Amino acid sequence: EVQLVESGGGLVQPGRSLRLSCAASGFTFDDYAMHWVRQAPGKGLEWVSGISWSGGSIGYADSVRGRFTISRDNAKNSLYLQMNSLRAEDTALYYCAKDEVAGIAVNLESWGQGALVTVSS
Amino acid sequence: QSALTQPRSVSGSPGQSVTISCTGTSSDVGGYNYVSWYQQHPGKAPKLMICNVSKRPSGVPDRFSGSKSGNTASLTISGLQAEDEADYYCCSYAGGYTFRGVFGGGTKLTVL
């Protein structure tokens, strides 16, 4: 059974940094691309970033480009999101999601339960 | 980056069919066959219902079907059931200098 478990969320002041992690199990991690998707309270889904199986292809939403960095460690079956210069509008539940393919298709076939990030002074 | 356009709400009675549209551009929906649809119940993580425009993942009832014409994709749910009441989101791969993903704003389905 595929399991994706996010961690690292919490309350952080504007301008500070936070690093999210996603521990994957139940599948061959380095066979699949991975993504981060967020959902602000009461709002819709927003794609944040994605990374191919090898890390050779990476993409970001305009809203986070230059502030957020996605990475993966295939030896540890883990996905990361380094979030710098956080803003109030980054407040959201952050989901880790598994793509259907090794490259990038943004067919998100498995999701974690999310990590809540709250940016507030 | 503009989100894909979905109706804010749709409704139908049990047993009826409903269709949710998702309009993008030639840079996303119209340019690639990587359109997916997600169902989200309150307080739950999204669930993949359709991928690659019209492919149903294992376990998804065949009442759910997807299609695409030009820059508009559609999700049709036939034989509506009470448990289908949820939010539905479309999503597309988008190309360009680097890839990105783009979601629709979401559609609230009410089963009357």
**Residue B95, pLDDT score:** 85
Chain B hits for A60, Cβ within 8 Å: 98, 100
Q: Which residue has the higher pLDDT, A50 or A103?
A: A50
Nearest 5°: the CA angle A79, A2, A24 is 20
Q: CA B44 to CA B90: how far, in whole Å?
A: 17
Instruction: Note the maximum CA span of chain B.
Output: 45
Residue B32, min C-alpha distance to chain A (Å): 9
Closest chain A residue to the Cα of B46, Cα to Cα? A111
B83: helix, strand or coil: helix
**Closest among A57, A61, A65 to A105, alpha carbons compared:** A57
**Residue A20, pLDDT score:** 98
- Cross-chain CB nearest to B34 (options A63, A107, A109): A107
**Residue B1, pLDDT score:** 57
Task: Tell if the CB–CB gap between B36 and A107 is shorter than 8 Å.
Answer: yes
Find the length of chain A: 121
User: Is the predicted pLDDT of residue A89 greater than 80, yes or no?
Assistant: yes
pLDDT tens by residue, A68-81: 999 999 999 999 99
**Residue A102, pLDDT score:** 74
Taking residue A70's Cβ as centre, other Cβ atoms within 10 Å add up to 21
User: Is the predicted pLDDT of residue A105 greater than 90, yes or no?
Assistant: no
Question: What residue type is assigned to position B13 of the chain?
Answer: S
pLDDT by 10s per residue, chain B, length 112: 568 999 999 999 999 999 999 999 999 999 999 999 999 999 999 999 999 999 999 999 999 999 999 999 999 999 999 999 999 999 999 987 788 999 999 999 999 9
Phi first, then psi, for residue A30 (nearest 5°) are: -80, 15
User: Is the predicted pLDDT of residue A64 greater than 70, yes or no?
Assistant: yes
The two tokens of residue B110 are 């009410």
Closest chain A residue to the Cα of B53, Cα to Cα? A107
Task: Tell if the CB–CB gap between A47 and B103 is shorter than 8 Å.
Answer: yes
**Residues B60 and B49 sit within 8 Å (Cβ to Cβ):** yes
- Cross-chain CB nearest to A45 (options B1, B48, B89): B89
pLDDT tens by residue, B35-52: 999 999 999 999 999 999
Sole residue written with tokens 């490259």: A103
Residue A51, min C-alpha distance to chain B (Å): 10
Task: Tell if the CB–CB gap between B47 and A111 is shorter than 8 Å.
Answer: yes
- Cross-chain CB nearest to B51 (options A46, A95, A107): A107
Q: CA A106 to CA B111: how far, in whole Å?
A: 29
The two tokens of residue B90 are 């479309």
Residue B81, min C-alpha distance to chain A (Å): 23
pLDDT tens by residue, A16-44: 999 999 999 999 999 999 999 999 999 99
Find the length of chain B: 112
Q: CA A55 to CA A101: how far, in whole Å?
A: 13
Sole residue written with tokens 């507030």: A120
Task: Tell if the CB–CB gap between A108 and B57 is shorter than 8 Å.
Answer: no
